[in-house]
Structure 1
Amino acid sequence: MKKQLIVGALVVSLAGFSGTLATQAFGLGSVLKIGGVGVVVSKFGEQLNDFLNKLLMKDGVGTDYATKVVPVLSVGSGGYVGAAQVVGPSEQVEQVKAVGQIEAGFNGNLFRAKALIPIDAESITNMHRIQGVGVSAIIDVRF
């Protein structure tokens, strides 16, 4: 019962917060939408991380490694495009500031690929891959 109450409160909080951002984003354009993802991840990252860990444990596919929720940056545009949970040894996970996303088409765009790379920066300039860390979940933020 307590778990359902916590999850319900999180959903209501996220819905209310994203509703406010959606109204602002509509008036200010896509720049605020992109920046809004960073705000949401900053505010709710720990709660999202706990939610994902409990979800994965419930289904028997949890991990003993460290996890963290960070924003996803589009390497092409430099903007925030979502959020991701990263997983790995604690020391390496602590270094991750964002996940870089690189997209490309192959074979006349018959295939579309998205590479997700845990990085040590919140911008696409001067970023470095954090070795030993992977992406365990993608989080969509709806505006």
Structure 2
Amino acid sequence: MKRVTAAVFAVGMLSGLVVARSASAQLDSLLKGGAIIVAIDKFGGDINNFVDKLVGNPPRTAETRVVPILSLGKGTYAGAAQITGPKAQVDKVRAIAQIEGDARLGLQIRVKGLIPIESREVKNLDSLKRVAGVGITGLIDAKL
């Protein structure tokens, strides 16, 4: 009887550790994603200037800005993208929605769609409010 009780206790402890680690990993991902968005809000202008210089965007020929990327679908990721377009349209963009899909067209392909959107609150594809006339000129990754 003591062995059964000890075994049940051990399984319970291991299960608790697995759940705690899973919750910890999710919290860690949320914190890192939030930190990236805060960093983009604070340092977006500096990042934007760096991307302009890197890709050779001539000054004042197009409006550019750095906004966060919000991923939908498999997993949660955070990053940033530089957008470009008419000032009025660029000013409307709050984030880029990244959606992913797989298809078999003779060979297996994966597609990532990047959509400039008006809100950072994205629940599903139907809730996206696309901003027309805005393109993406650079992707920014942060090593975590």
**Same structural fold, with TM-score higher than 0.5 when normalized by the shorter chain:** yes
CA RMSD of aligned residues (A): 2.3
Look up the equivalent residue of 2:44 and give its one-letter code. G
Residue in 1 that maps onto 2:37: 38
Q: Distance in 1 between matches of 2:93 and 2:80?
A: 13
Q: Does 1:99 align with 2:60?
A: no
What is the CA distance between 1:33 and its match in structure 2? Answer: 1.4
> Does the Cα contact within 8 Å between 1:101 and 1:117 map onto a contact in 2?
yes
Aligned twin of 1:49: 48
- Equivalent in the alignment of 1:131: 132
User: Which protein has the larger Cα radius of gyration, Structure 1 or Structure 2?
Assistant: 2
1:13 maps to: none
Provide the C-alpha distance between the structure 2 equivalents of 1:112 and 1:80, rounded to a whole number of angstroms. 17
Query: What's the % identity of the aligned pairs?
Result: 41
Question: Structure 1: any 5+ residue segments left out of the alignment?
Answer: 1-24
TM-score computed with the length of structure 1 as normaliser: 0.71
SS at match of 1:29: helix
Q: Structure 2 vs 1, CA of residues 100 and 81 (structure 1 numbering), >3 Å: closer, same or farther?
A: same
Q: How many residues align?
A: 115
Specify every segment of 5 or more residues in structure 2 that has no aligned partner in the other structure, as ranges.
1-23
Aligned positions of 1:58-69 closer than 5 A? 62=58, 64-69=61-66
For 1:138, give the aligned amino acid.
Answer: L
2:116 pairs, out of 115, 118, 125, with 118
Misfit runs of 4+, over 6 Å = none
TM-score by length of 2: 0.71
